[in-house]
Amino acid sequence: MDNSSTVEEVIKSDSLVRITSKGTPLHYLVADAKGRVATIEFLEGKLKAHKGEALPYPVLTNNTYEQSVSSHTHATTKGNNSLERFSMACNKISQLNSNNRETSLVEKSFDILNAVNQGDYTKWSIVYDITEKKIWFKTQRFNQVRSINFSALDFSCGVRSKFIYMNGKESGNISPQMTQYTDQINQRILETAAGQSSSRIAISGQQISRILAYPATIICK
């Protein structure tokens, strides 16, 4: 997806990419700067995409898209956290679209994310403005909304990657405060994350080593 500029390009990459999972279902909600949206799912080894009229609700939680839409339509979401959150998000989108109060799209988006927040399981919430190349986010530890202006960043191949801690105490536009990425920083962050997640998922030293080696395989052309 990082190598595509439109939703159609993502879907056409079907012949080149296959997503595999070890227990956790993986699927994606993709959008582009022209406002096109699609769900991307890999079901029984085949890519399944919903877009246009086949995508009545631009929402995705843990169940497959067809399961979620069917449950929302027939009001059978009760007792299933994923389906309940899907239905809640669909209802909130309808409410906010019909609400004439002067609220920015960013605020509306965070209203929806707050409505489907899973408490301690929700570590951060993020809103993308793909057209303007800006993102806004907040974390569980620091609830203030911060932003990054991607238009202000240099993505040339010869420029070192940059990073910033999501749980930092910076405020407002934090783009100027991003610093150079290093392998040591990546290792420290990954090992901390693995330790914090150990009660729910085990990440072996071998898996950590493979993840740490991955950035070096990325070639900028």
Which residues, other chains included, contact 220 with Cβ-Cβ below 8 Å and sequence gap of 6+? 157
Better-predicted residue by pLDDT, 144 or 98: 144
Over range 163-168, report the average pLDDT.
89
pLDDT digits (tens, 9 = 90+) for 177-212: 999 999 999 999 899 888 888 888 888 889 899 999
Kindly state the percentage of the chain with pLDDT values over 70: 95
Average pLDDT, the chain: 89
Q: What is the pLDDT of residue 22?
A: 65
Tokens of 56: 């009545």
Cα gap 187→191, rounded to integer Å: 6
Helix (H) or strand (E) holding 122: none
Cα gap 38→57, rounded to integer Å: 10
Smallest CA-to-CA distance from 87 within 76, 102, 97 is with: 76
Residue 103 has pLDDT above 90, yes or no: no
47 CB burial (10 A radius; 0-12, 13-18, 19+): middle
Check: CB of residue 64 under 8 Å from CB of residue 27.
yes
Residue 4 has pLDDT above 70, yes or no: yes
Q: What is the pLDDT of residue 120?
A: 87
Cα gap 10→4, rounded to integer Å: 6
Better-predicted residue by pLDDT, 25 or 167: 167
